[in-house]
Structure 1
């Protein structure tokens, strides 16, 4: 029997189970939904369905309110945490893109260096041939032969 991977965003828990898992009263969960603090998914019959991520958020709300943060502050904290998560994801995307561009630039630089080396070698070979056989203005080679003294 194969098991499907569990999705943290899948709305699977009804309000009574979500209340038990979070340690909060179902009426408190309804209030948080009305205030937009934790907004669960809805079933086809419009019943609330909480995901594992929603349960974690409810626990965080409970921790913050226990620490003395009011509900407006809790809502703002949760919004900022979502924004930070989105920004971190964007930074990761941009970092990957930057690495890809850097790899392409490095590859292009290596290719340019190799091309320059080949061009310099070809120029050196042409220069060496010119030094061996001088040419006149017409492009004809002038060969000077001198016999060696005996």
Structure 2
């Protein structure tokens, strides 16, 4: 992941502030790829009332993960499955932590 420029302000992971061109530059991928990933359901940017896509830092990280999986040889269908499994594992780990904390 490319770190933000020194003058950039850190943004919470869930706050959608990046236009598609900025998100594409941050993820080091063409804008067209972001549109394809959205059509395939791999990323879901927010939309303004006028329909402009807005990406948050978590979206950019997800696109970087997609690129890494593409570089590893997976196709978009395989990437969708991997991302879903990673989300399930994260949810299960959180549940285990929650249960351990109750003891």
TM-score class normalised by the smaller sequence: 0.7 to 0.9
* Residue equivalent to 2:28: 23
> Which structure shows the higher helix fraction?
1
Looking at both structures, which has the greater relative contact order when contacts are Cα pairs under 8 Å and sequence separation is at least 6?
2
Q: What is the 5 A alignment of 1:65-80?
A: 65-80=70-85
Tell me the TM-score normalized by structure 2: 0.85
> Which structure shows the higher strand fraction?
2
Residues 43 and 59, structure 2, Cα contact 8 Å, conserved in 1: yes
The yes-or-no answer on 1:61 pairing with 2:70 is no
Matched residue pairs, number? Answer: 94
Deviations 1:86-128 (A, max 9, x none): 1111111111112xxxxxxxxxxxxxxxxxxxxxxxxxxxxxx
- How far has the Cα of 1:6 moved from its partner? 3.4
1: distance between equivalents of 2:102 and 2:26?
Answer: 40
Uncovered stretches (5+) of structure 1, i.e. residues with no partner: 99-150
Tell me the TM-score normalized by structure 1: 0.60
* Residue equivalent to 1:37: 42
- How far has the Cα of 1:70 moved from its partner? 0.6
- How far has the Cα of 1:44 moved from its partner? 2.0
Q: What is the 5 A alignment of 1:1-150?
A: 6-98=11-103
Uncovered stretches (5+) of structure 2, i.e. residues with no partner: 1-9
- How far has the Cα of 1:41 moved from its partner? 1.4
